Structure 1
Amino acid sequence: MNAGYRHRAGANVSLELRAWNIRRKALMMGEVQGQGYIGQALGIADVLAASYFHALNYKPEEPEWEGRDRFLLSIGHYAIALYAVLMEAGILPEDELETYGMDDSRMPMSGMASYTPGMEITGGSLGQGLGIAVGMALGLKRKKNPAFVYNMMSDGELGEGSTWEAAMSGSHHKLDNLICLIDFNNQQADGKSTEMLCSEPLDAKWEAFGWHCQRVNGNDLEAVVAAFDAARALKEPRPRVIIFDTTMCKGVPFLESREITHFVRVEADEWSKALAVLEEGKPQ
Structure 2
Amino acid sequence: MLSAEQREYLQRKAARIRRDIVDMVAPPKVGHLGGAASCAEIVTVLYFYKLRHDPQNPGWPARDRFIMSKGHSALAQYAALAECGYFPREELRRNKELGCILQGHPDMGKTPGIEANTGSLGQGLSIGLGLALAGKLDKAPYRVYVLLGDGELAEGQVWEAAMAAAAYRADNLVAIVDNNKVQATGPIRERMDMGELKKKWEAFGWYVLEVDGHDVGAIALALDAAEEICGQPVVIIARTVKGKGIPFAENNAAYHNASMTAAEYAIACAATEAALRGGET
TM-score (norm 2): 0.92
Matched, 1:36 2:31: yes
CA shift, 1:265, in A, is 4.7
The equivalent position to 2:264 in structure 1, one of 267, 270, 273, is: 270
Amino acid at match of 2:227: R
Matched, 1:96 2:91: yes
Distance 1:58 1:168, change over 3 A: same
* Pairs aligned (count): 273
The equivalent position to 2:221 in structure 1, one of 221, 226, 237, is: 226
Q: What residue number does 2:208 align with?
A: 213
CA shift, 1:80, in A, is 1.1
Q: Which runs of 5+ in 2 are unaligned?
A: 1-5
Q: Which has the higher contact order (CA 8 A, sep 6+)?
A: 2
Q: What residue number does 1:166 align with?
A: 161
CA distance in 2, matches of 1:123, 1:184: 19
Q: What residue number does 1:175 align with?
A: 170
Q: What residue number does 1:7 align with?
A: none
Q: Is the 8 A contact 2:149 2:177 kept in 1?
A: yes
Bigger shift: 135-144 or 30-39? 30-39
Amino acid at match of 2:154: G
- Pairing of 1:104-183 with structure 2 (within 5 A): 104-183=99-178
Q: Is the 8 A contact 2:27 2:261 kept in 1?
A: no
CA distance in 2, matches of 1:65, 1:241: 26
1:254 aligned counterpart, secondary structure? coil
1:242 aligned counterpart, secondary structure? strand
The equivalent position to 1:244 in structure 2, one of 215, 238, 241, is: 238
CA shift, 1:48, in A, is 0.7
Bigger shift: 133-142 or 255-264? 255-264
CA distance in 2, matches of 1:70, 1:33: 34
Q: What residue number does 2:48 align with?
A: 53
CA distance in 2, matches of 1:272, 1:213: 40
Q: Is the 8 A contact 2:96 2:104 kept in 1?
A: yes
Distance 1:200 1:267, change over 3 A: same
Q: Is the 8 A contact 1:86 1:118 kept in 2?
A: yes
Q: Is the 8 A contact 1:192 1:261 kept in 2?
A: no
Q: Percent identity?
A: 38
Q: What residue number does 2:3 align with?
A: none
Distance 1:188 1:261, change over 3 A: farther
Q: Is the 8 A contact 1:32 1:98 kept in 2?
A: no
Over aligned residue pairs, what C-alpha RMSD do you find?
A: 1.8
The equivalent position to 2:187 in structure 1, one of 179, 182, 192, is: 192
Q: Is the 8 A contact 1:191 1:261 kept in 2?
A: no
Distance 1:94 1:192, change over 3 A: same
CA distance in 1, matches of 2:97, 2:259: 20
Q: Which runs of 5+ in 1 are unaligned?
A: 1-10
Matched, 1:280 2:270: no
CA distance in 1, matches of 2:118, 2:48: 23
Q: Is the 8 A contact 2:202 2:208 kept in 1?
A: yes
